[in-house]
Structure 1
Amino acid sequence: MDGKVIVVTGALGALGRVVVDEALARGDRIASVDHAPTQAPATADLFELGGVDLTDAAAAKKAIDAAASHFGRLDALINIAGGFLFETVADGDPKTWQRMYALNVMTALNASRAAIPHLTASGNGRIVNLGAMGALQAGPGMGAYAASKAGVHRLTEALAAELKGKITVNAVLPSIIDTAANRASMPKADFEKWVTPKELADVILFLASDAASAVTGALLPVNGRV
């Protein structure tokens, strides 16, 4: 995948950092977009855009346009930005549902809509979204999160159908990702069964590569060893 120009949203998170590092190691140029402040000066291969609220369509467009302008084109968009809240339906706050929808669906929607013209112009555009295995069958406390990730799945399918022949659109569906936060919240779990950020990054970057040109509309489970 040498020489691709890729926007990664949620790039300063546990998974986003690994995706960025792996892509840079493969010779790609990365525009890193995150709600957190910028952490590094721009280099020839890395352009960080911090303080971006992707739940706002105008802010998302400004960031994506800046990335395309900085590198001269855009070949792929990887939508990792999102969030998780554990809360039961009966005892939870209705605002949680709105927040999960905003963080998981609207961020991907706004970034994708802003990127479509640039990805179309590249002639070989890719969009990769972050879904969730938990959205296929929600467990206790997972209602709001699972519903929002199910929205990401349907967004992926709709965009793939609408952009067929122009841009491929796929989603990865991880189980539990082996991060420090997940280990802290589930200290008695068998971490060896979880999918690692590196394993998930490899699948994401495959879907963003030329090798995946015939794959679109896929919701690809990445279960680790669960």
Structure 2
Amino acid sequence: MSERVVAITGGHGVLGKAVVAAALAQGLKVAVIDHASGHAVPEGVLEVGGVDLTDPAAAKAAIETVAAHFGRLDALLNIAGGFVWQTVEGGADEWGRMYALNLTTALNASRAALPHLKAAHEGRIVNVGANGALKAAQGMGAYAASKSAVHRLTEALAEELKATSVTVNAVLPSIIDTAANRADMPDADPKKWVAPGDLAATILFLASPEARAITGALLPVTGRV
């Protein structure tokens, strides 16, 4: 059993659950931080539920709970986020929500985790950006802008931490093979999409000690789309 501890925000979602399962399979100690609470989690997983990561104080309290429970924190995996399809003409109400769900959650969790990650031998932050944020398509303005901000956060924080052993990277998935995406795109071929388990494996590699030479990377994970 590895002593390394990973905190996974948004751990109750489809991707979050895949990362939890993959982390446990690698023998890691796992904490799930999520806005939802009361979900069943595998044995040994610490659930910190009911957390509003858009609130800096709540994010700090959640991270401190994880560190106190395990006595350390080695990696933060920022998976919490959201998606909306909305044209620019359709209104601006979703722009703030997308920034809050995708950027602010990652920012607050990262700030709260930094003291613990700096104290770790090989601290890691892995964010989830989006390949669709490299060039926004119709209806993707709010989502792509918020994920582009996650990319810039990743790069800036990686530069800030180069004097430490903490690395900061992001994965940029295309379409993830989920039940919701299959329902929304019934004519598409999901075999070309990114399986949650494959994306989880990439995230955990970036969170591993073996990825110490990689920081500030925006890694496309696009399947065969």
TM range (shorter): over 0.9
Residue 10 of structure 1 pairs with residue 14 of structure 2: no
* Number of the residue aligned with 1:174: 173
Distance 1:12 1:42, change over 3 A: closer
Aligned partners of 2:223 and 2:141: how far apart in 1?
23
Identity score, percent: 66
Counterparts of 1:1-226 in structure 2, within 5 Å, are 2-40=2-40, 43=43, 45-92=44-91, 94-166=92-164, 167-226=166-225
**1:201 & 1:164 partners in 2: Cα distance?**
25
- Following superposition, the deviation at residue 42 of structure 1 comes to 8.6
Give the drift of 1:40: 3.8
For residues 214 and 36 of structure 1, the distance between their equivalents in structure 2, rounded to whole angstroms, comes to: 35
- Over the aligned positions, Cα root-mean-square deviation in angstroms equals 1.3
Residue segments in structure 1 that go unaligned for 5+ positions in a row = none
Question: Shift in Å at residue 3 of structure 1?
Answer: 2.7
3-state SS of 1:35 partner? coil
Q: Secondary structure at the match of 1:173?
A: strand
The alignment covers a number of residue pairs equal to 224
Q: Report the AA paired with residue 55 of structure 2.
A: D
Q: Deviations over 1:11-63 (max 9, x none)?
A: 000000000011011100011011111324795x3100111000110000000
Q: Any stretches of 5+ residues in structure 2 without a counterpart?
A: none
Cα gap change, 1:134 to 1:41, in 2 (>3 Å): closer
Report the residue type matching 1:26 in the other structure.
Q
Distance of 1:104 and 1:128 partners within structure 2:
13
Supply the distance in 1 between the matched residues of 2:40 and 2:68 (Cα, whole angstroms): 19
Amino acid at match of 1:105: L
- 2: CA distance, partners of 1:121 / 1:113: 14
TM-score by length of 1: 0.96
- State the SS of the aligned residue for 1:195: coil
Task: Tell me the CA shift for residue 123 of structure 1.
Answer: 2.5
Provide the C-alpha distance between the structure 2 equivalents of 1:124 and 1:194, rounded to a whole number of angstroms.
32
Cα deviation digits, residues 130-173 of structure 1 (max 9, x gap)? 00000000000000000000000000000000011321000000
Write out the 4+ residue segments of structure 1 that deviate beyond 4 Å after TM superposition. Answer: none
C-alpha change, 1:41 and 1:13, in structure 2 (3 Å) is closer
Q: Equivalents in 2 of 1:159, 1:50: separation in Å? A: 27
Q: Deviations over 1:88-120 (max 9, x none)?
A: 00122x120000000000000000000000000
CA contact (8 A) 1:79 1:130 kept: yes
Measured against aligned partners, the alpha-carbon deviations of 1:151-210 in whole angstroms (never above 9, x if no partner) come to: 000000000000113210000000000000111111111111001000000000000001
1:124 deviates by: 1.1
